[in-house]
Amino acid sequence: MKIDFYPKNKTFWRYNIVCWGIVFVALLLQTIVFAQDPLQLTVEIIAGLIFIVLGVHAGFLFRFIFSKKDIQNNRIGSLILIGFTLATTSSIIIGLILGGFGYLSYSQLLPETYDEVRGKYDGLQFLLLIATRNAVTMFFYLTVWHFIYIAVTVHRRTLKAELASLQLKNSLKETQLNSLTGQLNPHFLFNAMNNIRFSIRKNADKAEEMLLNLSDILRYSLDATKHNKTMLIQELDITKRYLALVKLQLRDRLNFNLNVAQESEASLVPPLILQTLVENAIKHGIEQLAEGGSLTVDIRLVDVRVHILIVNDMPLIKSKLTQGSTGLGLENVRTRLKLLYGNDASFTVNKREKLFMAELTLPLERKELRQ
């Protein structure tokens, strides 16, 4: 993200104008009290304006450096050290600039006043005297400014992290509700239970297995809100159980192919992410084809990233039931990925003739598998 040296935030400008304005008024009052003539007053006012302008830009420089992501990720102690270092360096430079300005102004424009102090200090000492006074004053103001900026920024970052955490919890709750009402919709539950009922007469063992699958799916959906991520092997297991129930209804209309790289099974993924995409492929693709179709799930590791590709057949023309729909849960998938990974994950969908492709790319995170 590009960071502008001059901030565009109006609130930031407003606070800066107020704070530095107070500093300028204080300097102005001090100048009015101690100035001996109008010319000295003018010189001191110009010096005050230079002091303020340079101080504002020193603050902008700190903000510009601090806004970089690799700087912000440091601990508080490191941020304070960076602020102290920048305040010291900026104060010395500004002090020398104002020292030079003061020396030239007094020696050229105010020779009488300069002659009064020349008995105590030579030219270099006089310059350093003014430079030191301005550097110390500027150091005080910049240190206060930097600490306030760090405190406000860290506080906002904390609030942002807490908000993201709350949004993630709400998203996971929404996923759970979608799994019980939208994804595992009444139509699916009715068909599953009805098929299991018929299977009881023909094959009691098969019916019991299907009931266990349904129970595991419901339990997994309820547990999804307790964890931000789960192992891919668990996602695969629950997806296979879901497909086993769907096969009772679709039978030979569903041709399922699964290609999973073994080294990817311990990868961590958001819970219900794979089941959501598979359900979307079936409801909006396979179920809409009278002759059925193929569903392929391909999972592999590429450059320390997990690539999940789901390809399914789909009708050329959407049915009235799915017309206008973008697919069940796809927007929820995008939201959850954004909250969990920021810009480190991607999710894209593409249509090519009779095929629908959903591709998911996640940063690789592992959990050791128990043998």
User: HEC states along 277-335?
Assistant: HHHHHHHHCHHHCCCCEEEEEEEEECCCEEEEEEEEECCCCCCCCCCCCCCCCHHHHHH
- Residue 169 resides in a domain: no
pTM above 0.75, yes or no: no
For tokens 């990720």, what's the residue? 73
Q: Which three-class secondary structure state does DSSP give residue 230?
A: strand
Residues of the chain with pLDDT under 70: 1-3, 69-74, 112-123, 173-189, 191, 224-225, 318-329, 368-371
- Residue 178 resides in a domain: no
The answer to whether residues 153 and 240 belong to one domain is: no
- Residue 4 resides in a domain: no
Domain count of the chain?
2
335's CB contacts (< 8 A; 6+ apart) are 171
The answer to whether residues 22 and 142 belong to one domain is: yes
For residues 234 and 267, the answer to whether their CB atoms sit within 8 Å is: no
- Residue 49 resides in a domain: yes
- Report DSSP state, residue 368: P
**Dihedral angle sign, alpha carbons of residues 301, 303, 305, 309:** negative
The answer to whether residues 80 and 200 belong to one domain is: no
For residues 82 and 117, the answer to whether their CB atoms sit within 8 Å is: no
For residues 310 and 296, the answer to whether their CB atoms sit within 8 Å is: yes
Strands 230-231 and 268-269: antiparallel
Q: What is the pLDDT of residue 324?
A: 46
The answer to whether residues 143 and 219 belong to one domain is: no
Q: What is the pLDDT of residue 321?
A: 43
Domain end among 164, 193, 208: 164
Instruction: Calculate the CA dihedral of residues 188, 193, 195, 198 and round it to 10 degrees.
Output: -160
- pLDDT of 6-57, one tens digit each? 777 788 788 888 888 888 888 888 878 777 778 878 888 888 888 889 988 8
- Residue 133 resides in a domain: yes
The rounded distance, in Å, linking the Cα atoms of 160 and 12 is 18
Domain enclosing residue 324, as ranges: 184-363
The answer to whether residues 129 and 237 belong to one domain is: no
The answer to whether residues 138 and 241 belong to one domain is: no
Burial of 247 (0-12, 13-18, 19+ CB in 10 A): middle
Domain end among 103, 133, 164: 164
The answer to whether residues 196 and 275 belong to one domain is: yes
